[in-house]
Every structure is written in structure tokens, then in C-alpha cells.
Chain A
Amino acid sequence: MKEIPYEGDEASVAAVALPAIRPVPTAADEGKWARNLGLKDPTGEAARGPWTGEVPRGSWRSVALSLRPVLQHRLATLWGEDARDRVRVHALWLGGSGTRGVHLYASLPEGSLELPTLSPEVAPALYFEREVAEMFGVEFAGSPDTRPLLLHHRHRAPPMRGEGAAPEADRSRFDFAPVEGEGVYEIPVGPVHAGVIEPGHFRFQALGEQILDLEVRLGYTHKGTERLWQGRDPQKGVLLAESISGDHSVAGAVAYASAVEGALETPSLPAPVEAARGLLLETERIAFLLGDVSGIVLDVGYAAGAAQANVLRDRAYRLLESLTGSRLGRGTVRVGGLSRPLPTLVPGKIARELQELARGTEELLDHVQGVSSIMDRLRGTGTVPLAVADALGMVGPAARASGADRDVRRDRPYGAYRNEEVRVARQDAGDVEARLRVKVEEVREASRLAQAFLKRGALGGAVSVDGGVPSVSGERFGLGIVESPRGEFLFAVSIDHGSLQRVHVREPSFLNWPAIEYAVRENIVPDFPLCNKSLNLSYSGFDR
């Protein structure tokens, strides 16, 4: 790949005095680095937030490239914002436990919507930049891949800016990377699949049964949700947050609500409300992960085991229903607390059910381990090495199965997790078996946490913050990051005079989708569904 030089690269790297590199940079290193760059010092209630500041366009790349080796932060998200006569591009970099993160943005004036690309060095930047490019008409100079990401041929104008804001793009062509050689053939799969699942197109290049390369094309369920938020009452926005990806509605709602609460500088929620949110989050996690276990076992054709997992999963959903009235746990979380208290059921009964779910899941794993034909399929299949997981900035159980030590609940504790130690599950192999083991372990931990939250008075009690959500004037920004069953679920919300000005959502799958293209290499075609199911990527969450 051709290296494209950028103006001011070296000069600005030199301008930033680099603190000494340590194995694990601390919050102090981060603060020193940020102050050197002249970033805003978050104080008071906002101290929960990241170091923030504008970066001149010329040093966008150099700052980003110096940030990584010094702080070892990863690019958590990158998004655009329409500010009338200009477009702002934001990048959020998050680090390890205890660090605040760094939020950088660049302003691009109308008429020269151009920014140097980060993607050759920062792998996750590629998808983000492709999205900002097509949604806002921003050109990322030097990008190795300028194909559309979410939009298909029917879209013309950049949807987040509107007609006439940028030249109409022609999206009628989408070329997959060709692979040539004797006996190499292409397998196009989807977007409509044989099972009842979401739409996505997979293009395999295969030699016999061996997969040489895979490219995924998504965007078939793009609904323009981010624009739907704009101009709305923040309270009503919860409904949209819950439906970003239906299988982790509670996580979406809590992430969104905490972003809005942060923006509005809402005082801390009462402990029972935080405990209630924690209980719902962990119950949802149990149901979600049991669905994954069932899927993995079903994909190797072991229907009896899958049915067993589904029985457990449904019990978790029923528990969620008894707590919220909705099997998916919808309609309970709202900005500033809960829409109603959780019913005053007998805590002992719920705790017992949670224990049984954890025990049942472990028994199932024991059983599955005893069936050699299953374990033979899982071991060594769909391996994602730690180096790849780190380079892609993967999150959630999929990252932890590759050995990445990353969990928002522990690294950036929120709500009830501030007072509860989370034992993070980890495996090193990075294959389907490792992902299955991490998921089972997380069910156990979720059950334990949920029981702890029960003891903290999750049932009944207060529903909202004292005095309600404050109404503040002017432009406010808030960040909400929650560990959903899929991983780090992130909302960035701007509120202008009480109504939503820009809502950016980054579902965990957005970071994890590229991993599947690595996971399947050197595997055989019939093992693809297993790789896919164990990573459990959301189409809807990616497309939004």
C-alpha cells in the first residue's frame, strides 16, 4: 500500500512532549499527555468524562498516531456531526482500567470537507471513516477503501447532511477484492439466507473447501436511526435506543440514558435504581448468552443440547418479563431512572432462579464437553489471535476469548458496578471453544452479580433521581458506555436547548464484524456458520 505523506506530520509529533513509555500507562500518564496537547481538563461532575479538545486538521493524524504508542488507547468510535456551516469529526479513544479516555474532534469548513485517513495504521478507523464519508460527504484522503459501507445504490445525497450538501455519489458499483488462481472460486451467500436471520452478504473466495478470503457487505437493514433522534425529546429517545439491536435492549437503553444523564449533569441516581438497572442488565446477559450457547450447539447439529440451552434461555426471558412486563426488558429504563419500580417479588425466589440458570448452564457445558463429536468441531475452529483482536479493537466476550482483558463494568464502572467487583472471564485460545467457555463463565458471573444487586434493593423502592432530570440550557455533551452481552455499547449524545441535537451510537458489533473475516481464514466452508454464531454479530446494530 502506498504511504501518503501528510503536511505537518512530523512537526506536530515533535511538538507533543512524550512522557516516558510504561508497560501499562496510567491515568496520570493520560492526564500529562492530554494537558500537553492542551485538552480540556474535565472537572466536577463531568470528571467522569474523557479529556476533550479540538485538533487542527493538519495534526489529526499525527496526534492519533502518537496517542496509540504512548497511551495504548484504542479507537472506540469515530463519528460525524453536522454543525450547519461545517462538519465536525469526533474520535473517542479509550484506554485501560482507570483512564478517562480522550475525545478529539476536528472542524471541517463547508467546501473543503477533507481529513487525512487513520485507517492504514488504525484498523477500526476504516469502517468508521467509510460511514462518515457516505453520511456526511467527508473525504478521508489516502483511505485504502472508499466503497460505501451502509448505503446501497438507492441512496444518493449524504443522508446526514441532505440534498445539495455534497456531490451525488454513485453507489451502483461495489467490487469485492478478487482472488485469482487455478481452482479458486467465489461463493456469494445472502443477503437472503436459508434460515430466518437478518440480511447480510458474504463473499467467499474458496479453493475447494478451504476459505481463502471472506468479505462481508452489510447495510441492508440501515434505517437512519441516528437522524431519527435529532430534534426529539431526550426522554422519548429511549425507545429508539432499545431497538438498535433488540437482543440487548436493556443495555442500549441504559447506555443511552446514562449518556443523556451525563449531558444534563443529572446527580447520581439512588442506589436502588442503579441496582435495578444492574439486575435487568445481568438478567438480559444471561438470556442473551444462553442464546449463543444454543446457537453454537445447534450449528454442529446437536439439536438436543441446543433445546436444553433454549429451555434455560426462555426461563431467563420469563424472569425478565416478570421484572419488567416485557420479555426483552423494554419500557422500564428511562432517563433519570426507571419508568416504574420493579415489582416487589420475593427476592429469594428470583435469586434461586438465577442460581438454577447458572447451574443449568454449567451442567450443559459439562454434558457438551462429554460429546467428543461436538468438541472436535469447536476446538481450533475460527481462531482470532490476540494480536488481531487488539488491532481491530474488538470488545466483549469475543475479545475476551482471544485473551483481551477488557470489560467496561470493571474498567469504567458505572451505576451499581461502582460498588461491585466484576470477575472478568478470559480465555486465550481465541477459537469457538474459547468463546463458548467465556460465555458460560459470564452466565455464572452475571447470575452472581444479579443476586448481589437483588440484595442491594433492586426490587420496589425509588424510581428516579430526586427532583427529576434537570433542564439545562445551551449545548451539552454526554457519553454513555455500558458492557452489553456483546461488549462495549456506546452512546455519544449532544443536547441543544433541551432537544437532541446529535446522537451517535456504536453497537459492539461495529468493532467486531471485521473479526469474522479473519476468523474464517484457513477454515473450511462448512465451518463458517460456527465462526459466525460464536461471534454473534448484530446486523441491525451495525446498520442502524
Chain B
Amino acid sequence: MTPWEILLTTLVLAAELALAVGLAPLLTSVVRRRKSRSQRRTGPSMIQPYLDLAKLWGKGTVYVESSSAVTRAAPLISFASLLAAVPFVPWFFLPAPLGFAGDLIVVVGLLALSRFMTAVAALDAGSTFGGMGSTRDMWIGALFEPTFLLVIFAWGAPSGSTQASTIVLHGATLGAAHLSPALLLASAAFALLLLAETGRLPVDNPATHLELTMVHEAMVLEYGGRDLALIELGQSLRMVLLLELFVAVLLPWGIALSFGLAALALALVLLLVKLLAASALLGELETRVAKWRLFRVADLAVLSWVLALGSISLTYLVGVG
């Protein structure tokens, strides 16, 4: 790489981090707005998540007396690992800035690290709800992580790579032929695991006030102030990250392949449109389904796994990838 390219890549990296973090609360807002409408409510203002974060950021933090350094460090590590996953995913420019350093399996690992830190911190305070939330969350994580890997292999099968940039580039150059049955199956599998990974209905209900049914919320009950702000922002970031991965692979067209102004502008606009549409779709889905009985979540994982396996079989055995 020339110094010029390194500078540009650094700029892209900074822009993508800012974009991901900046967009995250907005997309959460879009989902909430869609749900409010289904309940015939106006719903809070679109910038409410930003205001909430600002409010929490301005508050002090209180820790449970029995808690250790884990409780203090966990929100930061959890958020940092999500942030670190951002440059491994293509946003508006190919190749992804940190694509040279790792593939999508690194993303899976970083998401797992974030989940692990939250769960450990939930146990640290010693409250019953924390323990309950973390066992549920780790169980869900254990169900869906193998599927996540399988989906990555299914996506990567046509291009022979687990690199996000390679997968997306391969798809973008294929044109309409990109939307093969194998890709659609794998993407459907990913959509299901996205619900579980981001703690949306029917797996978890982020809007619930019922402490006994909570998964993610039960884990973070002991947090307040800046820590809670980081956790909330992290949860939104996790959602935007997975949504972006979904739309980037499924609809790769329009992403900028060079540093032309027009190409970059088009890529940015398309990115926004795709993400907003995806979040609206997610909100729509949430209004149409009830929360599943906890143990039935395993069915969802099985379904997702079978879809991903079907996709791989199509590519390798049938050859219709």
C-alpha cells in the first residue's frame, strides 16, 4: 500500500466507526417507531435514544458493594470489542479497512467476547436476576454461534473465502445472478440468528418490564450512568453491525470500489437506505410475532442451522450456487 492509500484507508476507517456509532441509536429509533405505530401510539421522538444516552452519560455510576473490577471493566471491554468488529465489515467502501487483518470469523469472536463480558459482569454482582439473565444469554449464544459460522461458510462458498470484502465483491460483480437460492437460504438463516443475536422478538423482548422474562435486560439491571450508556449504545451497535453485514452480503450493489466522490456519495446514500429499510423490516417483524417460550428458541436455532446447511449443500453438492 502506498502512504496515500494508507491515509485514505484510515479516513475510511474513522468515517465508518463514526457512521456505525452515530447511526446505531437512529436505527433503534426506527424499530421503536414502527412498533409504536402498530400500537397506535405516536411514539417517542426519533432522537430520543440520543437524548437518553446523553442523559445517562451525564450521570454518575453506582456499583454494588460486593462487585469486583469485572463489573467496572466489562461495559468498556464489551463495547470496545463491538467497536473493533466494525472495520471488518464492509460499509460503503471496499475493501473493508481492517479486512487484511481478519475475516468474518473474527467478527463472530468479537461478538462472543462482548457477550461473554456482559454475562460475567452479570454474575459478578451476585444478584439472582443477573445469574438468570446470563445463563439464558449464554445458552442462546451457544445455540446460535455454530449457526453463525455455518452461515459465513455458506456465504463464502461461491467465492471460496470467509473474507467479508471478497464475499461482497464477488456478489457485486455477479449482478442479478448473485441472488441465487443458496444465497437466499443462507441470508434467511442469518436473519433468524440476527433476531437472537440482537435480543429481539421472538427471542427476547427489549421493551418488557417483566423481570422474570428478561434475557439481556436482566444482565444489565445493576448498571447505571455511563456504564449503562455504553451498554445501550453497544446493544444498538450490535444491531447495526449485524444489519449491515446482512444488507452488504444480500444486496452488495452500489458499494464504492474506488475513491471517487460520486461513487462514495452514492454508496453512502444507498447504505442509509438499505439500513433504514432493514430496521423498518425488523420493526415490522416484531409487531407480528409474540415472544416464544424460552426453550422453543432452540427450534429457531435448528431452523437457522438447517437453512444454512441447505445453502452449503446447494452450492457444493448440487452446484446451483
Chain A bound to chain B: yes
Q: Which residues of A contact B (CB under 8 A)?
A: 185-189, 193-196, 208-209, 297, 299-304, 306-307, 311, 371, 373-374, 376-377, 524-529
Binds A, one of B88-96, B269-277, B283-291: B283-291
B295 x A301 contact (CB < 8 A): no
With a cutoff of 8 Å between Cβ atoms, the chain B residues found around residue A208 in the complex are: 135
In the complex, 17 of the A-B residue pairs with CB atoms within 8 angstroms, ordered by the A residue number, are A187-B132, A189-B211, A194-B209, A195-B209, A195-B210, A209-B294, A209-B295, A301-B291, A302-B291, A303-B287, A304-B39, A371-B288, A371-B289, A373-B289, A374-B290, A377-B292, A526-B213
A235 to chain B, nearest CB (A): 41
A301 x B202 contact (CB < 8 A): yes
Closest 5 CB pairs of A and B: A301-B291, A307-B39, A195-B209, A304-B38, A300-B290
Instruction: Give bound CA distance, A145 to B128, whole Å.
Output: 27
Q: How many A-B residue pairs have CB under 8 A?
A: 83
Q: Is the C-beta of B205 less than 8 angstroms from some C-beta in chain A? A: yes
Instruction: Give bound CA distance, A525 to B293, whole Å.
Output: 10
**A305 nearest CB neighbor, chain B only:** B290
**B209 nearest CB neighbor, chain A only:** A195
With a cutoff of 8 Å between Cβ atoms, the chain A residues found around residue B201 in the complex are: 301
Q: Is the C-beta of B2 less than 8 angstroms from some C-beta in chain A? A: no
Q: Which residues of B contact A (CB under 8 A)?
A: 35, 38-41, 128, 131-132, 135-136, 201-202, 205, 207-213, 287-296
Which among A196, A526, A529 has the greatest number of chain B C-beta atoms within 10 A? A526
A529 x B210 contact (CB < 8 A): yes
B38 x A301 contact (CB < 8 A): no
Which among B38, B293, B294 has the greatest number of chain A C-beta atoms within 10 A? B293
B212 x A189 contact (CB < 8 A): yes
B132 x A525 contact (CB < 8 A): yes
With a cutoff of 8 Å between Cβ atoms, the chain B residues found around residue A300 in the complex are: 290-291
Cβ-neighbour of A193 out of B205, B211, B294, B296 (below 8 A): B211
Instruction: Give bound CA distance, A466 to B207, whole Å.
Output: 56
With a cutoff of 8 Å between Cβ atoms, the chain B residues found around residue A195 in the complex are: 209-210
**B296 nearest CB neighbor, chain A only:** A376
B293 x A194 contact (CB < 8 A): no
B128 x A302 contact (CB < 8 A): no
B172 to chain A, nearest CB (A): 36
Given contacts A186-B128, A209-B295, A377-B292, 9 further A-B contacts (CB under 8 A): A194-B211, A209-B136, A299-B210, A299-B213, A300-B291, A304-B39, A373-B290, A524-B294, A526-B294
B212 x A526 contact (CB < 8 A): yes
Instruction: Give bound CA distance, A377 to B294, whole Å.
Output: 10
**B41 nearest CB neighbor, chain A only:** A307
A303 x B291 contact (CB < 8 A): no
With a cutoff of 8 Å between Cβ atoms, the chain B residues found around residue A194 in the complex are: 209-211
With a cutoff of 8 Å between Cβ atoms, the chain A residues found around residue B202 in the complex are: 301, 373
A311 x B290 contact (CB < 8 A): no
With a cutoff of 8 Å between Cβ atoms, the chain A residues found around residue B208 in the complex are: 301
A303 x B40 contact (CB < 8 A): no
**A375 nearest CB neighbor, chain B only:** B290
Instruction: Give bound CA distance, A195 to B93, whole Å.
Output: 45
